[in-house]
Amino acid sequence: MTDYIHFSENNLDVYSIKLANFILGAIVECESLLKELFKLTEHYQSLSEDEQKESLENSTYVQVNAVYKLDMKTIFMTSKIFYFQDIYSEPFKPFKYKKNKKDSRQIYNAIKHDKVNHLEAADLETALNMLGTLFVLNSYFYPELINKDQDDRSKIFRGRTAYIEPLFLSGIDEIDKLDKKEVADYFESCSYYAWIQSPELKNPRDYALREINFMLENHRDETNRSLDDLLESRRERGKLYEGNEYPFLLAVPVISLNNGKNISMLLDEAKEFYGALEQMKVPK
């Protein structure tokens, strides 16, 4: 479509029959993936066979969203032939998309059932957001996509990969600027997270505890910052502070899918970590 439409803010309201058919096709694919993801939920698996059939005929979004937090997922555009300089040059949440007070479902129904009178709803902005929702769903249904080479992955979108340091540091009282809800929202906006492993260490947690303790004692001014500042430092330098030593939390990352089950596992790990750190009597 970029052969015919310049993908920029000036053309977000451009509409056409081709875009209408594209939007309809994307949402049909989304509905199919939602049903498949719904089948993987504990809720679906707890139903009887008759209840399963009935539930699949209704909307499955609520149950799938409860597990994957789809409405919080943030993605960004990476295509070199897009020229957005405003809202779509920044990360955005396709499942929260609304236009003229109508959400994706309402736009879809208007185009599907009365295309002649609602063709203007089939615009470029809606098409991009519908494709974005499909990208998020594909990321969850095909988690192996994250490990593919760049050439085999989406040429249009990327999902956020969370840094796990905020999750751990937000539980330490000395780093009081990291609001727990803000950290939770950050994790829910990411499709993946980088877990930690280091085959060279026999006791990685003991090492991590010592290094975190050292960080709090010697680099508190650098770590006692807002979440945005901490993430920016992590992006720019690959670490949280300038010292030669660094907490184990950044060792060899393993990229994993971010769903409710995995985040619960991370939270449990963090709670154990806080308890062990408290026993070390971190300096006040």
Residue 211: pLDDT above 90? Answer: no
Q: Mean pLDDT over all residues of the chain? A: 83
* Lowest mean pLDDT, pick from 122-131, 180-189, 194-203: 194-203
My answer on whether 40 and 132 are in the same domain is yes
My answer on whether 153 and 210 are in the same domain is no
Task: Identify the CA nearest to 105 among candidates 200, 30, 191.
Answer: 30
User: What digits encode the pLDDT tens for the residues 107-119?
Assistant: 999 999 999 999 9
Residue 250: pLDDT above 50? Answer: no
In a domain, 235, yes or no: yes
- For residues 112-141, one letter each, b for 16 or more C-beta atoms within 10 angstroms of the residue's C-beta and e for the rest, the string is eeeeeebbebbbbbbbbbbbbbbbbbbbbe
**pTM for the full model?**
0.84
Residue 244: pLDDT above 60? Answer: no
Looking at the structure of the chain, the number of domains it has is: 2
My answer on whether 119 and 177 are in the same domain is no
My answer on whether 144 and 184 are in the same domain is no
Task: Identify the CA nearest to 183 among candidates 166, 171, 160.
Answer: 166
**In terms of residue numbers, what domain contains 265?**
161-279
213 pLDDT band, cuts 50/70/90, is: confident
pLDDT at 204: 63
In a domain, 49, yes or no: yes
